[in-house]
Copies of this chain bind each other. A is one copy, B any other.
Amino acid sequence: MKVTIKDIIDKLMEPVGQLESTVDTLRSGSLNTEVKGIVTTFMATHHVIEQAVAMGANLLITHEGTFYSHLDRTESLEKDPVYREKQRLIDESGIAIFRFHDYWHRYQPDGIMAGLIQALDWQSYVDDHQPAASILTVPAMTVKEIAEYAKNKLGISFVRVAGDLSITCTRVGLLAGYRGGGALAIPLFENEHLDLIISGEGPEWETPEYVRDAVHQGRKMALIVLGHAESEVPGMKHLAERIGMMFPTIPVHFIPGKQIFQVI
């Protein structure tokens, strides 16, 4: 039976219902094209698009915007050579690019968070899934040990840590993506009696500085910042697994992409 891009999108959006405002749109391609193969990824980079095309996929599902901003507007890029070359690749390959961001975060639990917890192998330690965070009670480890554990499980080369590396943690708050800001993260320490927050990304003058003050005051507290992509990549792998189960006749691949930063 022919499966179209519209069939895939409808199925993916179904558990959430219709969002009034969303960045989850079809950036290229047509809804009634038959799907030959699907690739999921955190970010539709130039390289990932080439890899997806080479794999025979004609639908690329990306979590973040293709052109370097959340709203993915390109007016200011019209004369930019990097934008133009990437847009030409998209046009010439005919690949459809669908953004799956808001809907995936609205799954219950959040699909990105579910993937992160699965990658960390912490499924059995979840106490509570809140809309923007999950609260866990993990076996006692120091912050340093958890940092090494997370690097190993997520396959990443570094994390950044604020606070006291030597404290033993059991109460952990997880915030994937750009949810590490103070308004979301700071109240969790007190309200959820957390030892540690593990976040994707957030303003450096907010939660890290709160943790710095808290530790100076003698409180036991730390923050591990994984990196935005590093915290959300597993959620897009998880999505590939889900789509594979829903559409078993369609080849579905996941492309992780490389870590964006090196530390020098």
- A contacts, CB < 8 Å to B: 43, 45-47, 64-65, 68-70, 76-77, 79-82, 85-86, 144, 147-148, 151, 158-162, 165, 178, 182-183, 186-187, 190, 201, 203-210, 212-214, 216-217, 219, 224-225, 227-229, 260-264
Query: Is A264 a contact partner of B68 (Cβ separation < 8 A)?
Result: no
Query: Is A228 a contact partner of B204 (Cβ separation < 8 A)?
Result: yes
CA distance A64 to B179 in the complex (A): 20
Minimum distance in angstroms from A149 CB to a CB of chain B: 11
Please name 17 pairs of A and B residues whose Cβ atoms are closer than 8 Å in the assembled complex, sorted by A. Answer: A45-B212, A64-B209, A68-B209, A69-B182, A80-B186, A80-B187, A82-B210, A82-B213, A82-B214, A159-B263, A160-B262, A161-B261, A178-B203, A204-B261, A205-B229, A224-B264, A225-B261
A159: B residues at CB distance < 8 A: 263-264
Query: Is B162 a contact partner of A260 (Cβ separation < 8 A)?
Result: yes
Counting from the closest, the 4 A-B pairs by CB-CB distance are A160-B261, A204-B228, A147-B264, A46-B213
Partner of A264, one of B64, B148, B212: B148
Minimum distance in angstroms from A203 CB to a CB of chain B: 7
A76: B residues at CB distance < 8 A: 183, 187
A183: B residues at CB distance < 8 A: 69, 76
Query: Is B46 a contact partner of A217 (Cβ separation < 8 A)?
Result: yes
Query: Is A144 a contact partner of B204 (Cβ separation < 8 A)?
Result: no
A47: B residues at CB distance < 8 A: 212-213, 216
Please indicate which of the listed interface residues A80, A160, A261 has the most CB atoms of chain B within 10 Å of its own CB: A261
